[in-house]
Amino acid sequence: MESTMNTKGMLADFVEDLPKVELHLHIEGTLEPELLIALAQRNGVDIPYKTIEAARAAYQFEDLQSFLNVYYLGASVLREERDFYELTLAYMSRCKAQQIRHTELFFDPQTHLANGVALAAVMGGINAALRDAERDWHISSALILCFERDRDPEPSVAHACALGGIAGIGLDSAELGNPPEKFQEVFKVAKSMGLHRVAHAGEEGPPAYIWRALDVLDVERIDHGVRCLEDPALVRRLVDDRIALTVCPFSNVALKVFSRLSEHNLGRLLKAGLLATINSDDPAYFGGYLSENIIGTLSSLDLTAKDALLLERNAVEAAFCTDQRKQSLLRDLDQYDASHRNLL
């Protein structure tokens, strides 16, 4: 028992200082109850929770849809450019604390447009915080504009892609009943503009949605994708093409894709040779940021420090940054690896 506890403590120390990359993070999902209440008051937005405790208590979910209802309500307090700046800088300061060296953030423009907020305010606030974090903390980042699959692709959002400041587009929100085909045209246009493409698929939806995200939307990464193991031919395709899966274990448990962490299939994904990564998705809502997700998952599945290194090397390979930046991130991992050989 004692040796297990020691091993777990050592693993946690190893992961905390490990240089990390995050590839699946919704900036609206980093809205902690404290900031939610403060912004609701500052902007005069009427929300059902009046205290931090009441907001925290509401962060309990049955499935993806019940989460999305709370999530969209939370996003409604974001009104001004400075709100987006403060939200993003708070997340980037977590990155600094957790040794996240590169992060790729999603944002949901359609939600904010529906709330009457101009895209220039949303993107201006987020990008200013990303620039400050790069300047002050040397954290590189990429911004990915997500289309919400339960809404129609909106032309003003497609035009926003042309404004610059965006590395790629994604597809998120309610998966069931909203297959990828609806977004074929907008993904085609994004590719012709040189933008990267990703999509949430195979979280609650079937493996067929992953196939279609690959074949119809021509995506370079699959967000979640945990249900791919139900289809051996799909696994072969993902392995052969080195398509990364941005897996979010705490999110999967919070939304009941798996009943508990010890039942998560991350270990099996790695064993199958898939380019799996660990990410926090909506950390304010799902009980932990990146370090907590990695530590919790590895310890629940009896995975090791070596697996943590593999996950981070996978994330660097799948990141949308320059080759030069990737080399630098890999060098950091090699150095960390070399100086922790006693643990591996």
**Residues that are catalytic:** 203
* Nearest approach, Cβ of residue 200 and Zn ion (Å): 6
* Nearest approach, Cβ of residue 70 and Zn ion (Å): 15
Identify the burial level of 122 via C-beta atoms within 10 angstroms of its C-beta, where 0-12 means exposed, 13-18 middle and 19 or more buried.
Answer: buried
3-class DSSP state for residue 218? coil
Query: What phi, psi does 9 have (nearest 5°)?
Result: -65, -40
Compare residues 22 and 281 and give the one whose CB is closer to Zn ion.
Answer: 281
Compare residues 220 and 281 and give the one whose CB is closer to Zn ion.
Answer: 281
- Counting Cα atoms < 13 Å in the Cβ hemisphere of 77 gives 27
Chain residues in the site for Zn ion (CB under 5 A): 281
Compare residues 52 and 174 and give the one whose CB is closer to Zn ion.
Answer: 174
> Which residues are CB-contacts of 67 (< 8 A; sequence separation ≥ 6)?
61, 254, 255, 282, 285
Compare residues 149 and 212 and give the one whose CB is closer to Zn ion.
Answer: 149
CA dist 280 and 94 (Å) reads 12
The residues with which 198 forms a beta bridge, in sequence order, are 221
3-class DSSP state for residue 92? helix
Closest to 145 measured CA to CA, from 107, 117, 110? 107
Compare residues 22 and 83 and give the one whose CB is closer to Zn ion.
Answer: 22
Helices (H), the chain: 2-17, 33-43, 52-58, 64-75, 81-97, 109-114, 119-137, 155-161, 184-192, 207-215, 232-240, 249-254, 266-271, 283-286, 290-300, 305-318, 323-339
Compare residues 180 and 309 and give the one whose CB is closer to Zn ion.
Answer: 180
**C-alpha distance from residue 325 to each of 138, 195, 244, 250, 337 (Å):** 11, 18, 18, 28, 18
Q: Are residues 23 and 248 in contact, defined by beta-carbon separation less than 8 angstroms? A: no
* Nearest approach, Cβ of residue 173 and Zn ion (Å): 9
* Nearest approach, Cβ of residue 210 and Zn ion (Å): 15
Residue least distant from Zn ion (Cβ): 281
* Nearest approach, Cβ of residue 13 and Zn ion (Å): 28
* Tokens (6 digits) for 181: 């085909």
Q: What angle is formed at CA 175 by the lines to CA 92 and CA 236, rounded to 5 degrees?
A: 90
* Nearest approach, Cβ of residue 193 and Zn ion (Å): 23
